Amino acid sequence: MPGPRETILIRISGPDQTGITSAAMAILASAEASIQDVEQIVVRGRLTLELVVEVPSGKDVLKDLLLMGWERKLDVDFEVVDSAPQPTLPTLVVSVIGADLGPADLVSVTAAIAKANGNIERIQRLAKTPVWCYEFEVHGGDADGMRAELLDTASENPRFDVAVQRMGLSRRAQRLIVLDVDSTLIQNEMIDLLADQAGVGDACAEITARAMAGALDFEESLRSRVALLAGQPEEIIDLAFEHLELTYGADTFIRTLKRLGYKVAIVSGGFTSFTDRLKESLDIDHAYANTLERKRGVLTGELTGPIVDRAAKAALLQRIADEEGIALEQVVAVGDGANDLDMLAMAGLGVAFRAKQVVREAADTTLSTPHLDAVLFMLGVRREELVADQLASDD
């Protein structure tokens, strides 16, 4: 029968250097110690290594560890603790994203977590450019109450956004991103680009304003604006596409998702004349939108086929997920308008990106930054990984 064992918390800190962990492990191995927990981090060249170990009585590992610390100019501290409890997994991941995050901002977030009796087990910085992002792993407390507290905190503080997700395999295995296009993947509205080329921009804007005021539903508004294009040569589509501007970070976002093995889809209330080109140029897997009718090289002012409206977007998200064999909880949807509400609600994670207020209030999380690639930080991707990926692709 094994003899009595003592549980010790060991903390090693100091300037980072090669071989510290290996040397410590060798000492523990020679003492027949068993490791219950371990965590190591390096910040600005300063290492902190913490271990919870069980050491057989009569084995003196402390002297050898202190000697190693003296030789390497490291601080080595010990504390006898209770037997290591069974580790528990964090229940939530909280991502805080802002242009500049200071202590006052983090006070608001950590106070909201504490108010819901959550315990922060880990904090790590994922990015500081083009935005700052900190990720908190939180255990315990009232998960639903914590989510409400954090989202209320973010809504009251325009300096940052907060994303709250449940920890679990589904978060690490999210494999499908479904994006709106107008004012999400691109900075423009396709119908506005076409209307400007046709010289009917003001009339188009007036119809849009009536729709925003609730006087027209989406389909009525869309058909009315498309009717303004009747008789225009189809060449205006090429001219309009030349003025299309991708959202900041969109190309990095799509490229990184593809390299991570994600499937990417765009579902738009705009037009296939644009989304088909975006699908090809950005290597997108699925693209759905409305189709402008053309006859003998002229736009008729009509649409052909089913209308991609709010309900259709959600149905298409379900269809794409089924085709790819991906569960809905593994889908991330990103959009900005009321037309996106159903698909944001259907996805495992719905992100309101620079969205209208009604969408911000309904979505799982919001992003106010103009950088679409900031969504990657919600998936746990670090900025340094993006930079390394870019350098590798350039080579």
- Mean of the per-residue pLDDT values of the chain: 89
Instruction: Assess whether pLDDT exceeds 80 at residue 278.
Output: yes
Work out the angle at residue 72's Cα, subtended by the Cα atoms of residues 79 and 29, and round it to the nearest 5 degrees: 55
Q: How far apart are CA 223 and CA 197, in angstroms?
A: 18
* 145 touches 138 (CB < 8 A): no
The most distant pair of C-alpha atoms in the chain lies apart, rounded to whole Å, by 93
Enzyme catalytic residues: 180, 182
Fill in the amino acid letter for 317.
L
Interval 111-128: pLDDT, tens: 999 998 889 988 888 888
Instruction: Please report the domains of the chain, with CATH numbers, ordered by start residue.
Output: 5-80 (3.30.70.260), 92-167 (3.30.70.260), 176-189+244-394 (3.40.50.1000)
pLDDT-based confidence at residue 1 (cuts at 50, 70, 90): very low
CB atoms within 10 A of CB 224: 18
Please give the structure tokens belonging to residue 113: 């977590």
CA dihedral sign, ordered 195, 201, 204, 209:
positive
Q: How far apart are CA 30 and CA 59, in angstroms?
A: 9
Beta bridge partners of residue 37, listed in sequence order: 52
Interval 21-72: pLDDT, tens: 999 999 999 888 888 888 888 888 899 999 998 888 777 788 899 999 999 9
Instruction: Say what percent of the chain tops pLDDT 70.
Output: 93
Q: At what angle do helices 218-227 and 201-212 cross, to 10 degrees?
A: 170
Return the pLDDT at 357. Answer: 85
pLDDT-based confidence at residue 73 (cuts at 50, 70, 90): very high
Report the predicted TM-score, pTM, of the whole model to 2 decimal places. 0.82
Please give the structure tokens belonging to residue 15: 């300037």
* 307 touches 353 (CB < 8 A): no
Return the pLDDT at 4. Answer: 72
The conformation of residue 240, written as its DSSP 8-state character, comes to: H
